[in-house]
């Protein structure tokens, strides 16, 4: 079984919605934050949204008001509700598990493709 499993990616028309889900193994401990990064072809990976263990959220400016992150700390899951999707949102989305100890101790999902096109 994978330590980090993502689902919910797919293809949608502009204005549509998708919900990404990520489940981290419940054996992963000391999680500081969970969130989502994305990387489009030819572009650098960027943080989309994250939620810390105390409930603080952070969003990229480009997705504020459209995306909503939610985390269930007890289940080690995090979701990303994406509304009003636009072609610029097309990317591979990666679930990220931040343990507060630097990237060496972080976990990454394998990525799920989100494609927004007509």
Q: 10 Å Cβ neighbour count for 116?
A: 21
**Distance between CA atoms of 110 and 13, rounded to whole angstroms?**
24
What's the confidence (pLDDT) of residue 81?
Answer: 98
Strand runs labelled E in the chain: 4-7, 10-12, 18-24, 33-39, 46-52, 57-59, 67-72, 77-82, 91-98, 107-108, 112-116
What's the confidence (pLDDT) of residue 26?
Answer: 86
What's the confidence (pLDDT) of residue 1?
Answer: 74
pLDDT in tens, 65-86: 999 999 999 899 999 999 999 9
Sequential pLDDT tens for the chain (118 residues):
799 999 999 999 999 999 999 999 989 989 999 999 999 999 999 999 999 999 999 999 999 999 999 999 989 999 999 999 999 999 999 999 999 999 999 999 999 999 999 9
What's the confidence (pLDDT) of residue 41?
Answer: 93
């Amino acid at each position: 079984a994978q330590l980090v499993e993502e689902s919910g990616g797919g293809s949608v028309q502009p204005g549509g919605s998708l919900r990404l889900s990520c489940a981290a193994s419940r054996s992963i401990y000391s999680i500081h934050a969970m969130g989502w990064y994305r990387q489009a072809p030819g572009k650098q990976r960027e943080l989309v949204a994250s939620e810390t263990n105390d409930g603080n959220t952070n969003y990229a400016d480009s997705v504020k008001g459209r995306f909503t992150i939610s985390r269930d700390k007890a289940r080690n899951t995090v979701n990303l509700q994406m509304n009003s999707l636009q072609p610029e949102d097309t990317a591979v989305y990666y679930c990220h598990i931040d343990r507060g100890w630097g990237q060496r101790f972080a976990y990454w999902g394998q990525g799920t493709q989100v494609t927004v096109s007509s």
